[in-house]
Structure 1
Amino acid sequence: MVPLAVFLVLVLAASPAVSSLKLTDLTKICEPKDPELGPCIVKMAQEMLAKMENGLPEWGVPKLDPLKVPTMNVQRGGGAAAFNITLIDSYHHGLSEIRFLSASARPKNYELRFKVWLPRYSIVGKYDMSGRLLLLPITGRGDSNITLSNLTAEWTLRGKPMVRDGLTYMDQQQFRVKVFPEKVRVRFENLFEGNRLLGATMNNLLNTHWKELYKDLGPGLEEAISQLHLALTKKMFSKIPFTEFFPDQ
């Protein structure tokens, strides 16, 4: 296995330690013993996403679409496909278009699983890159656009109980993301110190062979997105008692 190292810095606005906003202000909660628990969670998640699209400061949730991310590093180390891409002041477009397809939960184990669909997910901003993609050396810095189209994704959230002031919260430990795009397109401006011919040739090659590109880029991108989503949802779960999501679990 080629080792992967992905680091992400996400700056969120400070929010109050105690929130007056309740989960029931946004959606109807689900009963753990409900035989239709999965569809209920799908509906709950979709309703919450709609209410959070423009941000919920009380829960530490920023505006989601576009979501501004100051720095996101996507790395793959070792072997012929080693590279490092730093995405700077990027805007992530498409989160508001998420459609929840299915869901399951094991409340006693503090685990949630979702399958979602998006028509498009784009990361637009500055980049700084060096290494190899498609086994070819590549360097550059400038404007970039990474767009995944018609994609499904699988989310797995895991945590452990945390008791605070007599209430039980989920101390989220993991947000694992697997992404399955129908197509990937990239644009990296100013490759090879601004050599337009080499830059255009490389961008065309990356897009022509996008499936092979995603084999190189996908694992690191999935890990970076996982850490981004963890930063977002971990703060939310720290403010809402888990028993609000699943009473009498």
Structure 2
Amino acid sequence: MAVGIPELGIKSLDPMRFDEIKGDQAGLSLTFKDTTVTGMKGCTVDGVKCSVDLNGDYKLGGQLLVLPIRGEGKYHINIRDIVIKASNALVTVDGADGKKHWHIDNWHFTHQVKTGAVFNFDNLFNGNKILAGPVEDFVNSNWRDVMREIAPPIVHAIVARVVEAVEALYKAVPAEELYIQ
């Protein structure tokens, strides 16, 4: 399903593209645009565990942990071994075909990065390497704390896209055909 099933209305999950991901986390305003996420093909289903790459355009402003940060430009984030656990309320509804279909009523998730994350932000502090170098070193050395601050809107966008794909599958295929016998 990672490559998508267009005839069922299921978009590709690898690569996954987002026009915009926005967040306001603990005094840090962040915007990621034209983002491509790759690596979902390598996910295992016990929770979701995979390594993903995000590439696109960013805009940051505010406080990241203890540091003031600002910048706008291209970015790359490599997240190694992120585990996402999602829970949902599954209900049965009548489909347009007159058969019973599953529907995800609501969902919640938690996430944890197990191995690490590497951040590259072009043009931090308007390209001032004297300011940007130490900040990028600090961010990469403290990846776990940085991920706690910036990951929620990113992970939410990814999980929402996966839920959308599963929802499209449930809408297209009756529940009786999805039961494991």
Give aligned pairs, total: 179
- Listed as ranges, the gaps of 5+ residues in structure 2 are none
Structure richer in strand, relative to its length: 2
Aligned counterparts of 1:175 and 1:127: Cα–Cα separation in 2: 28
Q: How does 1:32-43 map to 2 (within 5 A)?
A: none
Aligned counterparts of 1:55 and 1:91: Cα–Cα separation in 2: 15
Deviation digits for residues 161-205 of structure 1 (CA, Å, limit 9, x no counterpart): 221232111222334332221212111111112222212221111
User: Which of the numbers 28, 45, 59 marks the counterpart of 2:8?
Assistant: 59
Q: Is the 8 A contact 1:155 1:177 kept in 2?
A: yes
The answer to whether structure 1 residue 94 and structure 2 residue 39 are counterparts is yes
The structural deviation recorded for 1:75 is 2.8
Aligned counterparts of 2:166 and 2:80: Cα–Cα separation in 1: 24
The structural deviation recorded for 1:85 is 1.7
Partner of 2:108: 176
Partner of 1:232: 165
Deviation digits for residues 84-129 of structure 1 (CA, Å, limit 9, x no counterpart): 222111110100011223xxxxxxxxxxxxx2322x1111111122
Q: How does 1:92-171 map to 2 (within 5 A)?
A: 92-101=37-46, 115-118=47-50, 120-164=51-95, 165-171=97-103
SS at match of 2:56: strand
The structural deviation recorded for 1:153 is 2.4
Identity %: 22
RMSD (Å) for aligned C-alpha atoms: 2.1
Deviation digits for residues 41-79 of structure 1 (CA, Å, limit 9, x no counterpart): xxxxxxxxxxx2332101212233222222222332xxx
Partner of 2:118: 185
TM-score, structure 2 as length reference: 0.86
Residues 70 and 219 of structure 1: CA distance in aligned 2, closer, same or farther (over 3 Å):
closer
SS at match of 1:99: coil
Partner of 1:34: none
SS at match of 2:85: strand
SS at match of 1:62: coil
The structural deviation recorded for 1:141 is 1.1
Q: Which has the larger radius of gyration?
A: 1
SS at match of 1:238: helix
The structural deviation recorded for 1:247 is 7.2
Q: Is the 8 A contact 1:189 1:199 kept in 2?
A: no
Aligned counterparts of 2:45 and 2:53: Cα–Cα separation in 1: 19
The structural deviation recorded for 1:151 is 2.8
Aligned counterparts of 1:163 and 1:94: Cα–Cα separation in 2: 35
SS at match of 2:60: strand
Q: Which amino acid aligns with 2:60?
A: M
